[in-house]
């Protein structure tokens, strides 16, 4: 397709954390809100799920992208937290009791965070192509007392976060160590994505087009 100077990069995500991570490397994107059923399919492993959902999110904004642009590169992602020693996915807590249950289960233990991402090249006059990858990080949490858990829940931060904590917020104080990509835990494995933009899509690091203006559109 050419270089970043010729086409916009679309972020198919509603996550402000992903926007911030991309801003940190100087990449301005055009944001579009994807639509996808984020339910886990029967028998589907978390690693498979995040790759599937990332692709579906990218595909959901293609009609809007092609109405606005003759060609574009779409970036989308899906992140899940998996309970220690298991295969069950921890989503966002339903209520305070659910948040307390999640935090109690991960306290003092190591759990896994998967992020699947998709880079989708599309245009009106080109054959679309896509690349998907899933990245794994292991997060060891501190031992947490009931008082600490309750105080953290009272902050309100856990209530809209998968696994009931935010690695980039107050929740960073609950983490003992991370094995693997920190930004993967936040929502985008930046190093892996940049490498794939360079190798798979010939978009070199730090050659971003500063004329791109961030905006938000809904399909």
E strand map for 17-109:
30-32, 71-82, 89-90
Q: Are 170 and 151 in contact (CB under 8 A)?
A: no
93/96 Cα distance (integer angstroms): 7
In eight-state DSSP terms, residue 203 is: -
Is position 160 annotated as part of the catalytic site? no
The encoded tokens of residue 164 equal 């009931």
36/12 Cα distance (integer angstroms): 11
Which of 78, 95, 98, 160 is catalytic? The answer is: 78
Spatial CA neighbour of 51 closest among 111, 88, 199, 59:
59
Spatial CA neighbour of 117 closest among 171, 182, 197:
197
Other CB atoms within 10 Å distance of the CB of residue 49: 20
136/45 Cα distance (integer angstroms): 13
Give, for 80, the enclosing helix (H) or strand (E).
strand 71-82
For the annotated catalytic residues, the residue numbers are 78
């Amino acid at each position: 397709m050419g270089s970043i100077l010729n086409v916009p990069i679309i972020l198919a995500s509603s996550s402000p954390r992903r926007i911030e991570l991309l801003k940190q490397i100087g990449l301005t994107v055009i944001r579009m809100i994807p639509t996808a059923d984020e339910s886990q399919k029967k028998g589907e492993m978390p690693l498979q799920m995040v790759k599937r959902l990332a692709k579906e999110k990218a595909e959901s904004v293609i009609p809007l992208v092609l109405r606005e642009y003759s060609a574009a590169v779409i970036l989308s992602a899906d992140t899940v937290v998996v309970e220690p020693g298991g295969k069950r996915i921890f989503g966002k807590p339903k209520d305070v009791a659910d948040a307390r249950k999640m935090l109690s289960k991960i306290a003092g233990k190591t759990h896994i965070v998967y992020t699947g991402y998709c880079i989708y090249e599309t245009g009106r006059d080109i054959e679309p192509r896509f690349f998907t990858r899933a990245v794994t990080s292991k997060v060891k949490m501190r031992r947490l007392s009931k008082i600490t858990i309750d105080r953290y829940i009272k902050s309100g931060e856990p209530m809209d976060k998968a696994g009931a904590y935010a690695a980039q917020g107050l929740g960073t104080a609950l983490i003992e160590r991370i094995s693997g990509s920190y930004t993967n835990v936040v929502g985008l494995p930046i190093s892996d994505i940049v490498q794939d933009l360079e190798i798979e899509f010939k978009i070199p690091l730090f050659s971003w087009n500063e004329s791109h203006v961030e905006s938000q559109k809904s399909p």
